[in-house]
Structure 1
Amino acid sequence: MTELRRAVRAGDPVVGTWISIGHPAVAEMSAELGFDFVVIDTEHSSMSISTVENLVRAVDAASGETKSVVRLPDDDPTRIKRILDTAVSGVIVPMVETAEQARGVVEATRYPPDGRRGVAGSRASTYGLELADYFERANDELLVMVQIESAKSVGHAGSIAAVDGIDALFVGPADLSASLGRFGETDSLDSEISAVLDAAGESDTAVGTIALDPEDVERWVETGFDFQVVGIDLDYLIDGARRAKRRYEDATR
């Protein structure tokens, strides 16, 4: 079991950052900052498989132990298979609403006899040079997280968390608030988040989330989340540029 998967499953306070800019420099820089993991987003970005693979290479080339996790666009087994072949350390699958769907996700990430992932030489197996060794260890190494993003998934959080092979739940506050008719009102999610944390606690499954605002970091820690993604590359860029522009404008008034 990899250190990242072990730490997440143990509920250790691991910290990640979110990458939606498909340039290797962003991924490499993020890894050099010492995050435990980076999430490469392919649900809401234009990244191709080859772009993802280059970002994973950049993370691997950086000093330190940062790992790559990819947020997929959906739970399609073919998409999952192709992403895993890039040698990522884990996946986050969005909009998982039932235990049956979660079991399908686990099966797609596992080689037979535990699942139905296809076998082939790829970057993950050093292009086939270490295929036998990779086949033996991959099922135990991959971190599998699913997102809780709707009222339905909140209601089924306990059964989803209890699925063997689901390492963690990941609450998506933006989509969850939207599905409840309260888009952007993350302050109104206390009861739903408490329900997810309580349900996951019954199977001792870790729960993480993303801080969409820096002030959310402390709030989510106090709420009881086990781990966090503490920001998004686009937001870092926008916030820094705004501050610099505003400072100049203030100085020249």
Structure 2
Amino acid sequence: MATRGDRTPAILCLPELSAACAKKALDLGPQGLMFPMIESPDAAELAVLFCHFPPHGVRGSADTVVRASAYGIDDGYLAWVDEELLVMCQVETAAGLAEIEAIAGVEGVDVVQMEPLDLSASMGHLRDAMKEAGRKLGRNRGNEALIQNNF
């Protein structure tokens, strides 16, 4: 990974909650993963399981053939995953908000992040704050008619 050379931490945002996405991303060697659209503690538990090797998870144990472990040279990689890998859960819906404390209480979840735009949209308030503040949702250049209509 390009960030390994200067020790810049990398957290990858996955497109969905799936074992396949998590495995492919983790094989690259990031310091953490961010899982989108987490709406329940069960989903948060899956995110944690996808990140860890057995017996703590369901990640495939081919750690000796992936970049993340320096192709097997890094003897400390397995311990590092269990102790240091950051697991983030994004709450983006009203359903997730209703379960946020339970999601945050899942063992192995390190961060619960609110996604304000998707969350407000799921609650029926898309663009309300901008409209109330009198700000236009658009750029100063472009189609002025669209900007006036909050596009």
Using the size of structure 2 for normalisation, the TM-score is 0.80
- Aligned-partner residue type, residue 127 of structure 1: Y
Partner of 2:134: none
Aligned partner (choices 169, 173, 177) of residue 120 of structure 2 = 177
Q: Secondary structure at the match of 2:11?
A: strand
Partner deviation per Cα, 1:187-223 (whole Å, 9 max, x = no partner): 79xxxxxxxxxxxxxxxxxxxxxxxxxxxxxxxxxxx
User: Which structure carries more strand by proportion?
Assistant: 1
1:98 matched to 2:72? The reply is: no
Residues of 1 paired with 2:25 and 2:102: CA distance?
Answer: 26
Using a 3 Å threshold, how does the CA distance of structure 1 residues 133 and 150 change in structure 2: closer, same or farther? Answer: same
Which contiguous aligned blocks of 4+ residues in structure 1 show a shift greater than 3 angstroms? 185-188
Residues of 1 paired with 2:33 and 2:128: CA distance?
Answer: 27
Unpaired runs of at least 5, structure 2 = 132-138, 142-151
Partner of 2:88: 145
Using the size of structure 1 for normalisation, the TM-score is 0.49
Partner of 1:161: 104
Partner of 1:129: 73
Residues of 1 paired with 2:96 and 2:129: CA distance?
Answer: 17
Q: How many residues get paired?
A: 132
Partner deviation per Cα, 1:230-250 (whole Å, 9 max, x = no partner): xxxxxxxxx9xx89xxxxxxx
Partner of 2:145: none
Partner of 1:10: none
Structure showing greater radius of gyration is 2
Partner of 1:38: none
Residues of 2 paired with 1:170 and 1:112: CA distance?
Answer: 27
Deviation at residue 186 of structure 1 after TM alignment? 4.8
Deviation at residue 141 of structure 1 after TM alignment? 1.3
- Aligned-partner residue type, residue 102 of structure 1: A
Unpaired runs of at least 5, structure 1 = 1-56, 189-238, 244-253
Partner deviation per Cα, 1:104-156 (whole Å, 9 max, x = no partner): 110110111111111112110001223x4312321111000100110000000
Deviation at residue 80 of structure 1 after TM alignment? 0.2
Contact 1:74 1:93 (C-alpha < 8 Å) held by counterparts: yes
Partner deviation per Cα, 1:25-67 (whole Å, 9 max, x = no partner): xxxxxxxxxxxxxxxxxxxxxxxxxxxxxxxx222223xx531
Residues of 2 paired with 1:114 and 1:159: CA distance?
Answer: 20
Following superposition of structure 1 onto structure 2, how do residues 193-212 of structure 1 map, counting pairs within 5 Å? Answer: none
Partner of 2:30: 88
Q: Secondary structure at the match of 1:70?
A: strand
Residues of 2 paired with 1:168 and 1:133: CA distance?
Answer: 24
Residues of 1 paired with 2:5 and 2:15: CA distance?
Answer: 26
Residues of 2 paired with 1:68 and 1:185: CA distance?
Answer: 33
- Aligned-partner residue type, residue 83 of structure 1: A
